[in-house]
Structure 1
């Protein structure tokens, strides 16, 4: 079997192409794809506990720590103790962070809407079933 014929190779190369495309868009707003995805996972109203963001994105917490520090330096977020649990810290968006989040949201929606115009509902449903099966297989370590 050729490498190009493997499922994981196609997923990886497609994700890299998507990531490059998102990075090109993100650069217009002086952010990265990673920052855009973090912004999308922070509640604009009440903030989000720092400990909840990494699992939402499938990241290790130490990787997220570097991204959050960078975001704080860029003035996109600020940290504030949780009102109900002083041991916990919530990440909040600044006004600039909210604008960049909206840009990120619009970018993702535009790409997804374009794909929905190009791909039939039947094929999309099959795609989601396949992705679900892959994730379930990984979860159950079936190799």
Structure 2
């Protein structure tokens, strides 16, 4: 009975949680004049300055055109800049500008604020256990994605 309940609700609950968290983070980030997606790009660039746009797109699992639009907006705001690669003029490398660092400084408590709200009523020990369990779920799904072969897909089409 419990298994059936998990089967019926697990994926929908995760999807709904993801949607709600994205909406909440977007609303709160807007207080700083930035979107959640732009914030994520800005943080990634800060953590790996000098990264190529193509590397960032891969890291963030985004289509290059989608990332380019986000970077364009961040550049327009003066938060990041593109610099040409010294050895390959086709390559842009990304760097956080002073204004971007200042924005991230002002936003430094927002991640903790969002997390605290989401985990209200959950003890620190429970939160650590939840995070470990979610990491295990993520690893399970990552492994399943990597193990999917053309034969399995054809088998599904044949029997499905």
TM-score by length of 1: 0.80
Larger Rg: 2
**TM-fit CA distance, 1:138:** 2.4
**TM-fit CA distance, 1:134:** 1.8
Worse-matched range after superposition: 13-22 or 100-109: 100-109
**2:49–2:96 CA contact under 8 A, matched in 1:** no
Matched residues in 2 for 1:101 and 1:77: separation?
12
Q: Provide closer, same or farther for how the CA distance between residues 128 and 65 of structure 1 changes in structure 2, counting only shifts above 3 A.
A: same
Cα RMSD of the aligned pairs, angstroms, is 2.9
**2:32–2:107 CA contact under 8 A, matched in 1:** no
Counterparts of 1:121-132 in structure 2, within 5 Å, are: 121-132=128-139
Q: Provide closer, same or farther for how the CA distance between residues 104 and 13 of structure 1 changes in structure 2, counting only shifts above 3 A.
A: farther
Aligned length: 142
Matched, 1:100 2:100: no
* 2:158 alignment counterpart: none
**2:45–2:51 CA contact under 8 A, matched in 1:** yes
* 1:53 alignment counterpart: 56
* 2:157 alignment counterpart: none
Q: Deviation above 6 Å: which 4+ runs of structure 1? A: none
Q: Which runs of 5+ in 2 are unaligned?
A: 154-160
Q: Provide closer, same or farther for how the CA distance between residues 92 and 74 of structure 1 changes in structure 2, counting only shifts above 3 A.
A: same
Q: Say which structure, 1 or 2, has more relative contact order (CA 8 Å, 6+ apart).
A: 1
TM-score by length of 2: 0.73
